[in-house]
Amino acid sequence: MALTNASAGDPAKSSLTPYNADFFNLHRGASSLCLFPTATEQVSEILKYCNKEMLAVVPQGGNTGVSGGANPVFDEIIINTSKMNQIRSFNDISGIAVVDAGVILESLDNYLEPLGYTVPLDLGAKGSCQLGGNVSTNAGGLRLMRFGNLHGNVLGLEVVLPDGTILDNLSTLRKDNTGYDLKQLFIGAEGTLGLITGVSLLTPRRPKSVNLAMLALDSFEDIQKAFVMAKEDLSEILSAFEFWDDASMNLVKRVTLPDATYPIEAKSKFYALLETQGSRQEHDQEKLDAYLSRVMEADVAHDGVIAQDAKQIQALWQWRETIPEAIVKSGTAMTYDVSMDVKLLYKMVEDAKKHYNDRGLLGDGNVYYNVIGFGHVGDGNLHIMANIKGFDYSVQKDMDRFVYDWAIKHKGSITAEHGVGVAKVGYMEECKSEPQLRLMRSIKHALDPHGIMNPYKVVPGVLDV
Amino acid sequence: MALTNASAGDPAKSSLTPYNADFFNLHRGASSLCLFPTATEQVSEILKYCNKEMLAVVPQGGNTGVSGGANPVFDEIIINTSKMNQIRSFNDISGIAVVDAGVILESLDNYLEPLGYTVPLDLGAKGSCQLGGNVSTNAGGLRLMRFGNLHGNVLGLEVVLPDGTILDNLSTLRKDNTGYDLKQLFIGAEGTLGLITGVSLLTPRRPKSVNLAMLALDSFEDIQKAFVMAKEDLSEILSAFEFWDDASMNLVKRVTLPDATYPIEAKSKFYALLETQGSRQEHDQEKLDAYLSRVMEADVAHDGVIAQDAKQIQALWQWRETIPEAIVKSGTAMTYDVSMDVKLLYKMVEDAKKHYNDRGLLGDGNVYYNVIGFGHVGDGNLHIMANIKGFDYSVQKDMDRFVYDWAIKHKGSITAEHGVGVAKVGYMEECKSEPQLRLMRSIKHALDPHGIMNPYKVVPGVLDV
């Protein structure tokens, strides 16, 4: 098999560097072998061999993950799926697509566009992330509140098990209750139980009409009120409900959009962005107008703006979408992805600020600065971010500790949509009960008794079954 | 613990009969003990004891299943959840309900109604089926095409494992990627891996407007065209798309609705019922009117009728909903629940008719009569039903054989939404590959090493790991 692009030598200097390191260069392994199979049978042969020889492997898709789940920790063999990139079939009556794991999310969406369908998930990384990786990390994204998660939208998977067995579970059926729903095991398992080679995905109709509005609000309580009202008035067409705070807004203005004018003139504590997707422009517009009047009259929002065309839609989205970039450009960035009860969503940010302020560590020029909060209200998903002075490891660990403790204490999740990978495996024993961990280890042990699949990730202490 | 309602004696004559037999009296066990725990801790104690003593148990909810999954096969101990029926919490911002397993589906919906929410599934048995059973059988129903399946809508489960361990996985988070999504294992496992005691469910907003239309069409090809056009025009408000054939229609007229006039005058080969659910009556009506004009002008449907009020909606639904009753009242009933590619959905019925006709066995007064087809087009789910003469077992087996062979040959499912239970476990080796069966057995073995949970169901040969 001529599957490798490089082999021995110093990995740091080799052509393998892009595969050994993640996008942010936070997680970096020293693999000297990256394989690029082009067919499921090749993956099967590779894993059969590795399982027999007890060689550890790490499955890798578009390498856009942020928890180090797709990078080697030491010298694991990388199995990269990017050369498995064929759209196998599409059924234009049921809307079901069957694709290779290496198909890029945006490529599938482009393929579906002229057929009137769209992919049910939308992520910042859509131009390079791959379907197999999306499924392996149970990717969430902006429109989960509308289309639901991948546990509902993935209809079948083709998976190569650690011993090389090809598990063809590539169903195209929406309803099938013949026994355990095996594919579910691999959704979100981050490649620790098998390597996904094929995906069967239910795709919804492409919306004929998209509308976008931005609101200015005084408090996070008002954000919640505006969200409930949006679910009431916009119900089936509401496709995204995002929020961010004034610190995020000002940071974006300063760093990523210095030439743009603020979309809403009067300063406010909070901003919300709501998107509708429907089948009839005038109906959606009418519903959105009525909603906006209602939130303003009820004094929930004190200002608002509706995008008038596709260009304005894009311009408004930028205020939300470039927040992470603004933080990254402002210094050493700490970024977190947590979820919790919507009512508590912003309290974490307030408590973090108070925590560091009380200790005299918060603010411009100080240890912690640019502490901001934003996220997906509809999914209870908060992205709290901050800059820290220099590259002080203890300062980083301190913020990790604060955020994770807070999330666990409030029954939240320390990783809403970014996965555990290697970044958070050390916290799993704190956020999961002993029965949960024991069951995870049993499953891992049952499927991968030699522990060759993506070791050191997701499940702590897998060998202590 | 005073948990039992009866004990020794002849089970057939005891007060246990309703728990030993299923609704259709097709599956019947001889248990002499039915326990009615009122708390999770009691379930834990029961299972701990049964696991130690190697006593087999069968979890039972509303006992509305049709595959014998909730009834004992021999003398297993029945654990009935009906006395665990509290709604634990409801979050009116996120729409997340946490309930005991024994809460009746309709009770939860009644609770949610004044709060503006609804349950995301709708079944004929809603007045007596329980949430725990719905989850255990991965119930589908009429509105799956709109709200998605339970793998997407269930956010967390509390499960008692066979050894008595309480697995508290009762998350109320929409996004949580901390490790394997353990709850997925128990959704659709029909109580063979553990006993579900609590369910966390995402509920959608209750629709403010419901519309219903019936169409008359000439062929199943036209049904498919009408379905695709409905997805185009009604997209986000389409909540059900059902179909049935003329044989179903005439049977209903004769047996269950003799006094009703046909809703559509001219006779037709096929009928479709489409329902919309939305937030604005006039918008939904306008979309539906436009859709109906389009399908008529395109000669896809040749007649149609729209319900004018709630009473007419109910009357139209009856033509679809009483089909099973009409078959059951017409003699010994054979009912099947299969799914396959939408394009093939009705071909199974045509082939079945041809198969029995060629052998001179089809028609009034003959061995097989009233062979009809109807189902959920949106989910590729067909219910094929027939009457057979007398109670001839070989005649029944012959039809089983035909239907299951056909479904397996065409890559369909032999049980779309009714589960495997004991009724279809004998066919599992034909419809699943060896790797799939091996993996199911490994999971069963890892979670239930003594095999006490609902034995003889779902997974064939569980002891041959």
B307-340 pLDDT tens trace: 999 999 999 999 999 999 999 999 999 999 999 9
**DSSP code for A413:** B
A64, A80, A96 - which closes a domain: A80
- Chain A residues 89-118 with CB within 8 Å of chain B: 91-95, 116
Where is the domain boundary, B202, B221, B254?
Answer: B202
Strand order in the sheet with B166-169: B87-91, B96-100, B195-202, B154-160, B166-169
Q: In this structure, what DSSP letter does residue A205 have?
A: B
Dihedral angle over CA of B95, B100, B103, B106, nearest 10: 10
B420 close to A (CB below 8 A): yes
Q: Which of A283, A317, A351 is the last residue of a domain?
A: A317
Angle at A456 between CA A450 and CA A457, to 5 degrees: 105
Note whether A191 and A256 are same-domain residues: no
- For residue B31, give the DSSP letter: -
Q: Are A397 and B123 in contact (CB under 8 A)?
A: no
- The model's pLDDT over A51-98, given as tens digits with 9 standing for 90+, comes to 999 999 999 999 999 899 999 999 999 999 999 999 999 999 899 999
- What band does B8 get if pLDDT is binned at 50, 70 and 90? very low
CB–CB contact B168 A95 (8 Å): no
Secondary structure (3-state) at A195 = strand
Q: Which residues of B touch A166 (CB under 8 A)?
A: 435
Query: What value does the mean pLDDT take over residues B353-382?
Result: 96
Same domain for B305 and B233? yes
Please tell me whether residues A92 and A164 are part of one structural domain: yes
Q: What is the ipTM of this complex?
A: 0.94
Q: In the predicted model, is pLDDT for residue A152 greater than 70?
A: yes
Does residue B161 sit at the A interface (CB-CB below 8 Å)?
A: yes
- Residues 18..57 of B with a Cβ closer than 8 Å to A: which? none
Euclidean distance between CA atoms A302 and A391, whole angstroms: 41
Nearest Cα to Cα of residue B459 among B449, B450, B436: B436
pLDDT of residue A145: 86
What residues of B are in contact with residue A237 (Cβ under 8 Å)?
236, 279
Is the Cβ–Cβ distance between B69 and B191 less than 8 Å?
yes
pLDDT digits (tens, 9 = 90+) for A416-465: 999 999 999 999 999 999 999 999 999 999 999 999 999 999 999 864 43
Q: A144, A169, A177, A206: best mutation site toward chain B, by most B Cβ within 10 Å? A: A177
> Tens digit of pLDDT for each residue in A283-340?
999 999 999 999 999 999 999 999 999 999 999 999 999 999 999 999 999 999 999 9
Residue A440 lies in a domain: no
Q: How many domains does chain A have?
A: 4
Single-letter amino acid, residue B91 = N
Q: What per-residue confidence (pLDDT) applies to B464?
A: 42
Regarding whether B65 and B92 lie in a shared domain, the answer is no
Smallest Cβ–Cβ distance between B179 and the set A166, A207, A428 belongs to A428
Mean pLDDT over each residue of chain B, to the nearest integer? 94
- Looking at residue A22, the DSSP 8-state letter turns out to be -
Amino acid letter for position B409 = K
Question: Is the minimum CB–CB distance between A163 and chain B shorter than 8 Å?
Answer: no
E strand spans, A133-208: 154-160, 166-169, 195-202
DSSP string spanning A257-324?
-TTSPPSSSS--SEEEEEEEEES-HHHHHHHHHHHHHHHHHTTSEEEEEE--SHHHHHHHHHHHHTHH
pLDDT digits (tens, 9 = 90+) for A248-276: 999 999 999 999 999 998 889 999 999 99
Task: Give Cβ neighbours of residue A292 (< 8 Å, ≥ 6 apart).
Answer: A213, A215, A301, A304, A306
- What's the farthest any 2 CA atoms get from each other in chain A? 69
Does A375 lie in the same domain as A346? yes
Judge if A156 and A113 occupy the same domain: yes
Say if CB B202 and CB B153 are below 8 A apart.
yes
> Are the beta carbons of B435 and A340 separated by less than 8 Å?
no
Q: Is the Cβ pair B173, A413 closer than 8 Å?
A: yes
Contacts of A456 in chain B (CB under 8 A): none
Tokens of A86: 């064929």
**What's the full length of chain B, in residues?**
465
- Does the residue B459 lie in any domain? no
Nearest to B342 among A93, A145, A168 (CB): A93
**Nearest CA of chain B to the CA of A81: how many Å?**
22
Max distance between CA atoms of chain B, in angstroms, equals 69
pTM, to two decimals: 0.94
Residue A51: exposure state from Cβ atoms within 10 A (0-12, 13-18, ≥19): buried
Supply the Cα-derived Rg of chain B in whole angstroms.
Answer: 23
Which pairs from A50-57 meet CB under 8 Å and 24+ separation? A50/A77, A50/A452, A51/A162, A51/A163, A51/A164, A51/A450, A51/A452, A54/A450, A54/A452, A55/A452, A56/A451, A56/A452, A56/A453, A56/A454, A56/A455, A57/A195, A57/A452, A57/A453, A57/A454
Q: Is B292 helix (H, G, I), strand (E, B) or coil?
A: helix
Q: In this complex, is the C-beta atom of A392 within 8 Å of any C-beta atom belonging to chain B?
A: no
> Which residues, at least 6 apart from A221, have a Cβ–Cβ distance to it below 8 Å?
none
Residue with tokens 């399982």: A51
CB contact under 8 A, B175 and A227: no
Query: Which tokens hold the place of A193?
Result: 């139980």
Pick from B176, B279, B443: CB nearest A413: B176
Whether residue B51 is found in the same domain as residue B158: no
B2 falls within a domain:
no
Are A174 and B137 an interchain contact pair (Cβ–Cβ within 8 Å)?
A: no
Query: What span, in angstroms and rounded, lies between the C-alpha atoms of B19 and B48?
Result: 22
- Same domain? For B37 and B134 the reply is no
Amino acid identity, residue A102? G
pLDDT of res. A8: 45
Same domain, B103 and B169: yes
Q: Read off the pLDDT of residues B79-93 as tens digits, 9 standing for 90 and up.
A: 999 999 999 999 998
> Which residue in the block uniquely carries the two structure tokens 């108070």?
A354
**For residue A418, is it within any domain?**
no
Same structural domain for residues B67 and B137?
no
Residue A119 lies in domain: 87-202
Number of H helices, E strands in chain A: 16, 16
Least CA distance to A282: which residue of chain B? B283
Question: CATH number, domain at B65?
Answer: 3.30.43.10
A366 inside domain: yes
Cβ separation of A175 and B412 shorter than 8 Å?
no
Question: A437 lies in a domain?
Answer: no
**Residue B405: predicted pLDDT:** 96
Interface check for B393 against chain A (CB to CB < 8 A): the answer is no
Would B424 be classed as within a structural domain?
Answer: no
Say whether A180 and B412 touch across the interface (CB within 8 A).
no
Here the tokens at position B147 are 């709200």
Instruction: Kindly state whether residues B91 and B185 are assigned to the same domain.
Output: yes
For residue A105, the domain's CATH number is: 3.30.465.10
Q: Look at residue B396 and tell me if it is in a domain.
A: yes
Same domain, yes or no, for B91 and B198?
yes
Whether B47 and B162 have beta carbons less than 8 Å apart is answered as: yes
CATH of the domain at B397: 3.30.70.2740
* Residue B269's CATH number: 3.30.70.2190
